[in-house]
Amino acid sequence: MRALVQRVACADVTVAGAHISEIGPGLLILVCAMAGDADAAGTALARKIAKLRIFKDADGKMNRSVRDIGGAALVVSQFTLAADTSRGNRPGFSAAAPPDEGERLYLGFADALAAEGIPVATGRFGADMAVSLVNDGPVTIWFDTAATA
């Protein structure tokens, strides 16, 4: 499973002109289930992200988690994180999980993050979404569970 985590002041998702979700301070998490991912990958990733200390403490050091600040997470599916750009000019996405499996793993990740005590809002799997955010910092962190397995 791959995730791109951004510390945000706020973020929201619109689908077909309809505003479907939003958060204030917290994390925008773009998630891609990869072919062969197990449910355990999403659970472990959620646990890691919930504890990730990238928010400032009273001394201005990144020493607090999203849970510590009472923040929320906006979880958005993004199969393009599976892009293979090693050949030609058109990325390939065959490493992404098939849609049914991808949706199940994406929703499982969101549920696992909520089980960690983080309020979670989501995008709409498979939809053409407009995602707006105010990146705080900016702070952007990349996760790939295959690299840590």
Q: Counting every residue, how long is the chain?
A: 149
pLDDT at 121: 98
Rounded to whole angstroms, the Cα distance separating 145 from 49 reads 12
pLDDT at 33: 97
The strand ranges marked E within the chain are: 2-15, 18-23, 26-32, 55-56, 62-64, 72-77, 120-122, 129-144
Whether 43 sits among the annotated catalytic residues: the reply is no
Whether 55 sits among the annotated catalytic residues: the reply is no
Query: What pTM did the predictor assign?
Result: 0.95
Whether 78 sits among the annotated catalytic residues: the reply is yes
Instruction: Record the tokens describing residue 53, joined without a space.
Output: 């200390």
* List 43, 55, 79, 109, catalytic entry: 79
DSSP output for 46-62: HHHHHH---EE-TTSSE
Closest CA to 118 of 54, 23, 41: 23
The CATH number linked to 48 is: 3.50.80.10
* List 80, 93, 140, 148, catalytic entry: 80
Phi, psi dihedral angles at 76 (to 5 degrees) = -125, 130
CB atoms near residue 107 (< 10 Å): 17
Per the structure, the complete domain to which residue 144 belongs is given by 2-148
Answer yes or no: are the C-beta atoms of 121 and 75 closer than 8 Å.
Answer: yes
Domain count, the chain: 1
Per-residue pLDDT of the chain in tens (149 residues, 90 and over written 9): 999 999 999 999 999 999 999 999 999 999 999 999 999 999 999 999 999 999 999 999 999 999 999 999 999 999 999 999 999 999 999 999 999 999 999 999 999 999 999 999 999 999 999 999 999 999 999 999 987 65
* List 6, 43, 78, 145, catalytic entry: 78
